[in-house]
Structure 1
Amino acid sequence: MSSMLEHGPEDVDAGAAPVYADGPAPNVAPRADDVEAVGAVAPAPAGAARHGWWMLGVLSLLMGFASISTDLYLPAMPAMGLSLRASAGTVEWTVSGYLVGFSLGQLLWGPVSDRHGRRLPVAIGIALFVIGSAGCALAGDVSSIIAWRIVQAVGASAGVVLSRAMVRDLYEGHRAAQMLSTLITVMAIAPLLGPIVGGQILVFAGWRAIFWTLVGVGLVTLVALITLPETLSDDRRSRDSLGRALGRYGELLRRPRLLGYAGAGGCLYAGMFAYIAGSPFAFIAYHRLPAQLYGLLFAAGIVGIMAANMINVRLLPRNGSDRLLTAGTVMAAASALVVALAAETDWGGLWGLAVPLFVFASSTGLIVANSIAGALSDFPKQAGTVSALVGAMQYGSGILGSGLVGAFADGTPRPMGWVIALFGVGSFLSARLLLTARPKRAGPA
Structure 2
Amino acid sequence: MEAVTPAAGLVQPDVGDAHEDARGSPPAWRLLAVLCTLLGFGSISTDVYLPALPTMGLALHAGAGPMEWTVSSYLAGFSIGQLFWGPIGDRFGRKRPIAVGIALFVAGSAGCALSSSVGQIIASRVLQALGACAGVVLGRAIVRDLYAGDRAAQMLSTLMTVMGIAPLLGPIVGGQVLALAGWRAIFWLLVGVGVVIMAALVSIPETLPRERRSMVPPGRAIAQYFALLRDRRIVVPALAGGAFFAGSFAYVAGTPLAFITYHHVPPRYFGLLFGSGVAGIIGSNMINARLVARLGGRHMLRLGGVLAAAAGVVSAIVAMTDFGGLAGLAIALMAYLCASGLIMANSIAGAMTDFPDRAGAVSAIVGAIHYGSGMAGSAAVGLLADGTPRPLGLVIAAAGIACLASVACLRPGAVARRI
TM-score with structure 2 setting the length: 0.85
Q: What is the deviation of 1:242?
A: 0.6
Does the alignment pair 1:304 with 2:242? no
Does the alignment pair 1:139 with 2:103? no
Aligned to 2:81: 105
Report the Cα distance in structure 1 between the residues aligned to 2:172 and 2:59, rounded to whole angstroms: 21
Higher mean C-alpha displacement, 29-38 vs 337-346: 29-38
Q: What is the deviation of 1:256?
A: 4.1
One-letter amino acid of the counterpart of residue 324, structure 2: G
Aligned to 1:326: 302
Aligned to 1:392: 368
One-letter amino acid of the counterpart of residue 73, structure 1: Y
Aligned to 1:211: 187
Distance 1:203 1:397, change over 3 A: same
Higher mean C-alpha displacement, 206-215 vs 217-226: 217-226
Distance 1:249 1:362, change over 3 A: same
Q: What is the deviation of 1:360?
A: 0.4
Aligned to 1:25: none
Aligned to 1:287: 263
Residue 48 of structure 1 aligns to a residue whose secondary structure is: coil
One-letter amino acid of the counterpart of residue 259, structure 1: V
Q: What is the deviation of 1:322?
A: 2.7
The total of aligned residue pairs comes to 409
1:95 equivalent among 54, 60, 71: 71
Residue 85 of structure 1 aligns to a residue whose secondary structure is: coil
Q: What is the deviation of 1:419?
A: 0.9
Aligned to 2:383: 407
Matched ranges for 1:94-243 at <5 A: 94-163=70-139, 165=141, 183-184=159-160, 186-225=162-201, 237-243=213-219
Q: What is the deviation of 1:163?
A: 4.3
Distance 1:62 1:374, change over 3 A: closer
Quick check: 1:48–1:170 contact (8 Å CA) kept in 2? no
Q: What is the deviation of 1:104?
A: 1.8
Distance 1:171 1:222, change over 3 A: same
Q: What is the deviation of 1:184?
A: 4.8
Aligned to 1:421: 397
1:360 equivalent among 336, 349, 358: 336
Quick check: 1:74–1:280 contact (8 Å CA) kept in 2? yes
Matched ranges for 1:16-27 at <5 A: none
Aligned to 2:44: 68
Report the Cα distance in structure 2 between the residues aligned to 1:325 and 1:64, rounded to whole angstroms: 21
Q: What is the deviation of 1:118?
A: 3.9
2:229 equivalent among 253, 267, 272: 253
Distance 1:272 1:229, change over 3 A: closer
Distance 1:74 1:254, change over 3 A: same
Quick check: 1:321–1:374 contact (8 Å CA) kept in 2? yes
Distance 1:423 1:124, change over 3 A: same
Residue 24 of structure 2 aligns to a residue whose secondary structure is: helix
Deviations 1:37-74 (A, max 9, x none): 5879x999847357875565455444432231111111
Q: What is the deviation of 1:177?
A: 11
Higher mean C-alpha displacement, 95-104 vs 246-255: 246-255
Q: What is the deviation of 1:243?
A: 2.1
Q: What is the deviation of 1:431?
A: 1.8
One-letter amino acid of the counterpart of residue 256, structure 2: P
One-letter amino acid of the counterpart of residue 70, structure 1: T
Does the alignment pair 1:347 with 2:323? yes
One-letter amino acid of the counterpart of residue 107, structure 2: I
Residue 69 of structure 1 aligns to a residue whose secondary structure is: helix
Q: What is the deviation of 1:367?
A: 1.8
Does the alignment pair 1:82 with 2:58? yes
Sequence identity, in percent?
A: 56
TM-score with structure 1 setting the length: 0.80
Report the Cα distance in structure 1 between the residues aligned to 2:402 and 2:146, rounded to whole angstroms: 40
Does the alignment pair 1:263 with 2:243? no
Report the Cα distance in structure 2 between the residues aligned to 1:122 and 1:384, rounded to whole angstroms: 12
One-letter amino acid of the counterpart of residue 159, structure 1: G
Quick check: 1:408–1:415 contact (8 Å CA) kept in 2? yes
Quick check: 1:308–1:363 contact (8 Å CA) kept in 2? yes
One-letter amino acid of the counterpart of residue 329, structure 1: G
Matched ranges for 1:47-66 at <5 A: 48=24, 57-66=33-42
Quick check: 2:6–2:145 contact (8 Å CA) kept in 1? no
Residue 238 of structure 1 aligns to a residue whose secondary structure is: coil
Quick check: 2:225–2:365 contact (8 Å CA) kept in 1? yes
Query: Unaligned stretches of 5+ in structure 2?
Result: none
Report the Cα distance in structure 2 between the residues aligned to 1:178 and 1:255, rounded to whole angstroms: 24
Quick check: 2:52–2:175 contact (8 Å CA) kept in 1? yes
Report the Cα distance in structure 2 between the residues aligned to 1:168 and 1:376, rounded to whole angstroms: 8
Report the Cα distance in structure 2 between the residues aligned to 1:208 and 1:254, rounded to whole angstroms: 44
Quick check: 1:45–1:170 contact (8 Å CA) kept in 2? no
Q: What is the deviation of 1:332?
A: 1.1
Deviations 1:376-404 (A, max 9, x none): 44667755533331221111100100011
Report the Cα distance in structure 1 between the residues aligned to 2:60 and 2:183, rounded to whole angstroms: 11
One-letter amino acid of the counterpart of residue 78, structure 2: F
Report the Cα distance in structure 2 between the residues aligned to 1:289 and 1:380, rounded to whole angstroms: 47
